[in-house]
Amino acid sequence: MKIIVHADAEGAARAGARIVAEVVRRKPNAVLGLATGHTPLELYGELIRMHREEGLDFSRVTTFNLDEYRDLPPGHPASYHAYMEKNLFRHINVPGQNIHIPDGRAEDVPAFCEVFEESIRKAGGVDLQILGVGTNGHIGFNEPSSDFRSRTHLARLTESTRRDNAFAFENSETTPPHAITMGLGTIMDSRSILFLALGERKAQIVADAVEGPVTEMVPASVLQGHPDVTVILDEPAASRLRRVARV
Ligand code: GLP
């Protein structure tokens, strides 16, 4: 794992966006794995700026999102479909038919999950997967004790995740209890991974994921076994790491 620590969230977001931009410039038909949450917002903002001001071209890019809540009504503002549209897709030129986000309303979930996996394979696999992390170590919606080999599936959210994500809903009771998520095995198949964590809230789980034992109780620790992971942190998120090189 390559660990890069920036003084603040803005520097971290810019560094992350530079990595994404390099992949897209080197391979104009790159396949990007995308995440939601607060963490990648500034990174997406920087990609939008690069698209507008530097001509960063997404016209041949394909994207796969990690996850989506189960059963949200179409267009629900807390859906990850709405998040992606608002925070990235409507501002750049990735073609609609190249965008893949799990369909939380799929009737036959196992069949949908198989098709989603097959679409990733047909696209040639994910070149760069962007990841945030939940305070309990989840990536995508792979909660503690998820199988490291899991593929895209219907996952049950823990109470702590529902509390963390309740800001987007009325309260944790109305936060959906399930989501469709890429599995840990799906994520580990990506050629490279950009793992972004910001803020003091994430300091302990970052230390556990990066320096702690590899255990299914900390899903993000699976990344220690991936050959090409760049971890980008701000100072507060890095504050509990013992071995880091600061930039
Ligand atoms: C959600 C998403 C994750 C994300 C996590 C952290 O649960 N499913 O993909 O990484 O939240 O969110 P935030 O970046 O808001 O801390």
> What would the pLDDT profile of 188-246 be if each residue is shown by its tens digit?
999 999 999 999 999 999 999 999 999 999 999 999 999 999 999 999 999 999 976 55
**pLDDT tens by residue, 120-156:** 999 999 999 999 999 999 999 999 999 999 999 999 9
Positive or negative, the CA dihedral 139, 105, 186, 217 is positive
3-state DSSP helix/strand/coil % of the chain, to nearest 5: 40, 20, 45
Question: Is residue 104 within 8 Å of residue 179, measured between CB atoms?
Answer: yes
pLDDT at 245: 59
Question: Is residue 65 within 8 Å of residue 97, measured between CB atoms?
Answer: no
Collapse the DSSP code of 13 into the 3-class scheme (helix H, G, I; strand E, B; otherwise coil) and give the result.
Answer: helix
Q: Structure tokens of 56?
A: 């960063």
Closest ligand 1 atom to 131 CA: 10
CA gap 127, 129 in Å, rounded = 7
CB of 38 shorter than 6 A to ligand 1: yes
Whole-model pTM? 0.97
pLDDT at 247: 56
**Residue spans of beta strands (DSSP E) within 41-175:** 62-65, 67-69, 99-100, 128-131, 153-156
CA gap 194, 228 in Å, rounded = 9
User: Which residue matches tokens 């939940």?
Assistant: 134
Ligand 1 midpoint to CA 246 (Å): 25
Q: Phi and psi for 58 in degrees, rounded to 5?
A: -105, 15
Q: Cα dist. 113→50, 103, 136, 155 in Å?
A: 33, 9, 24, 12
Nearest C-alpha to atom 13 of ligand 1 is from which residue? 37
Identify the band that residue 169 occupies on the pLDDT scale cut at 50, 70 and 90.
very high
Pocket test for ligand 1, best of 41, 133, 161, 180 (most atoms within 8 A of CB): 133
**pLDDT tens by residue, 75-100:** 899 999 999 999 999 999 999 999 99
pLDDT at 246: 59
In words, the CATH class of domain 6-188+204-229 is alpha beta
Domain coordinates in residue numbering, the chain = 6-188+204-229
Question: Is residue 183 within 8 Å of residue 143, measured between CB atoms?
Answer: no
Residue 228 CA neighbour count, 13 Å, CB half: 12
Alpha helices in 55-99 (DSSP H): 80-87
- Residues 6+ positions from 88 with CB-CB distance below 8 Å: 34, 44, 47, 48
pLDDT at 243: 78
Ligand 1 midpoint to CA 164 (Å): 9
CB of 175 shorter than 6 A to ligand 1: no
**pLDDT tens by residue, 24-80:** 999 999 999 999 999 999 999 999 999 999 999 999 999 999 999 999 877 899 999
Q: Cα dist. 183→92, 143, 190 in Å?
A: 27, 10, 12
pLDDT at 73: 77
pLDDT at 75: 85
